[in-house]
A and B are shown apart, each in its own frame.
Chain A
Amino acid sequence: MGKTIDLKNISKKYKLYNSSKERIKDLLLPKSYGKDFWALRGVDFTANTGDVIGFIGVNGSGKSTLSNIIAGIVPQTSGEMEVTGEAALIAVASGLKGDLTGRQNIELKCLMLGFTKVEIENMEESIIEFAELEEFIDQPVKTYSSGMKSRLGFAISVTIDPDILIIDEALSVGDKAFAEKSLAKMQEFKARGKTMIFVSHSLGQMKEFCDKVLWLEFGKVKEYGPTEEVIKNYQLFLKEYKKMNKKQREAYRDKMLNQ
């Protein structure tokens, strides 16, 4: 069991500007303008081959930022990251071009991921079969329903056979039958020892599937451990959090950040 993902002290800073004047000053002058927003603060996280890990947390806790960093889409501001193998991210709107047909999108997407002509030809059939789009495969993607789009995106991502698969809320769109098919595929991946990361608000799906859960709160790791344990704590926290009014939430936030 080797480490596939090893993050040390990862932070991500976004800049918030109140006006375009600030933005241009920040770009041209050495002094810093605008407000810093830390989406992630010193996150440590490791995953081994074959781990299935869930990311949970309330909105804005940094789940998507973290998965984007692991997938190599967004650079981190500071910290060290080591990812062994190819990582693929599946998001609901995962870069399909509306004007092109499904088939063309498959080729385009695979080209972008660096596959050769022959490899793409080989994969095309199995992608189409998995996506179950039938004759819609030669229609422009803009005519697809959101379920069809995510099915196509999912089919592409699982067929390219990445070593690390990151699924960002993508499974919540498809119907029950497709979700089951996807889960079966996930099980197969799990059996083959691939690392998977689920980003979801559906605790049910997580319990069913994940070995470990990472709970993020305001860009920091709150808890990382076995699924049962973390989810239990998270549910307790959610109950408390729901009861809080705005002011209490802010106070809670400040308290947490200053720890």
Chain B
Amino acid sequence: MKSAFIVLKEQIQYNYLIRRLSVYEMKSKNNDNYLGMTWELINPLFQIAIYWFVFGYGIRQRASVKLTDTFEVPFFYWMLAGMVIWLFFYRSIIEGSKAIYTRIRMLAKMNFPMSIIPNFVVLGRYYIHIGLLLITIVIFNFNGYHLNVYYIQLIYYAFALFAFTFSLSLVMSTLSTIIRDIQMFLQSILRMGLYLSPILWNVDTIANETVNRLIKINPLYYLIEGYRFSLFGLGWHITDYWKQTVAFWIITILLFSFGSYLHVKFRKHFIDYV
């Protein structure tokens, strides 16, 4: 628990540093392209376009998704709300887990607050996520799903998404610095993650109670449902499903504490593992 406070304190104390470094994070990646940072938006949009073409347009047209007894939405919009989260989560975890061992040589000092490294890497991806989310909102509004009072929840879910992704990156960045294989393992697991999360299919179609429940424990499920409730204006997901809210934060706090514990325990010796 003590280490969790140390890490949390560093995040607050070095706030300015995190923000500046996250900007450089994006700049250094896209300096060579003529379109620069725009590519960070173009790439995911292309990806979404492909999913739209495959699942929403013709090739494998999916049935509309029933959200309540009286309310149905076309598959594409339903998927889009989840895909926005997935695109952020996937890239952040991959890059977050590499964060420390690829940058440690650049650091001038051992007393650099290393716990902020996964934070600014994830934050760099987060800007793009916000951009994509805004584009999503525009698409939704042009297609009949208008701005509604439940949009307020989005702020909460966007924050929850960041908290969860950062906590997981903190764990992974330490583990993959010590054992590089974790990185490979993670890539395989994440590829499965897309299908284990309810992004391309509806969980309610699974009849088996236990499997259904297991999938709903997935923190991503909670976040995706939260986004969907807000964007389609279905209701107050936070309180309507308060058990999930509690479960989500327990998982996130446990991850964060575990990540902090590992990080503080090993950070003095990170350089020896490179």
Contacts and interface: CB of A to CB of B under 8 A. Distances in A.
Given A100-B27, A140-B31, A95 B108 contact: yes
Given A27-B179, A99-B32, A73 B20 contact: no
Contacts of B41: none
Given A72-B111, A108-B21, A99 B178 contact: no
Contacts, number: 63
Contacts of B29: 99
A104 B24 contact: yes
Given A99-B31, A112-B108, A75 B271 contact: yes
Given A99-B32, A100-B27, A117-B16, A27 B108 contact: no
A113 B108 contact: yes
Contact of B28 (A14, A95, A100, A109): A100
B3 to A, nearest CB: 18
B106 interface: yes
A108 B109 contact: no
B195 interface: no
B108 A73 contact: yes
Contact of B24 (A73, A95, A108, A117): A108
B89 to A, nearest CB: 25
Contacts of A24: 179
A184 interface: no
Interface string A54-95: 000000000000000001111100000000000011000011
Contacts of B27: 100, 104
B192 interface: no
Nearest to B111: A72
A116 B15 CA distance: 11
Contacts of A140: 31
Interface in B79-125: 105-112
A95 B31 contact: no
Nearest to B24: A108
Contacts of A74: 110, 271-272
A94 B105 CA distance: 9
Contacts of A99: 28-29, 31-32
Nearest to A20: B181
B110 A112 contact: no
* Secondary structure dominating the interface of A: mixed
Given A100-B31, A104-B24, A95 B271 contact: no
A140 B21 CA distance: 17
Contacts of B110: 72-75
A95 B106 CA distance: 4
B109 A73 contact: yes
A107 interface: yes
A201 interface: no
Contacts of A113: 108-109
Given A99-B29, A100-B31, A104-B24, A111 B109 contact: no
A111 B21 contact: yes
A257 B63 CA distance: 77
A117 to B, nearest CB: 7
A120 to B, nearest CB: 9
A107 B20 contact: yes
A8 interface: no
Interface in A89-144: 89, 94-95, 97, 99-101, 104, 107-109, 111-114, 116-117, 140
A72 B20 contact: no
Nearest to A15: B272
B9 interface: no
B206 interface: no
Interface in A166-183: none
A73 B108 CA distance: 7
A101 B31 CA distance: 9
B60 interface: no
A71 B109 CA distance: 7
Interface of A: 14, 24, 27, 71-75, 88-89, 94-95, 97, 99-101, 104, 107-109, 111-114, 116-117, 140
6 contacts: A27-B178, A74-B272, A75-B272, A99-B31, A108-B21, A114-B112
Closest 8 CB pairs of A and B: A95-B106, A99-B28, A72-B110, A99-B31, A100-B28, A75-B268, A112-B108, A108-B24
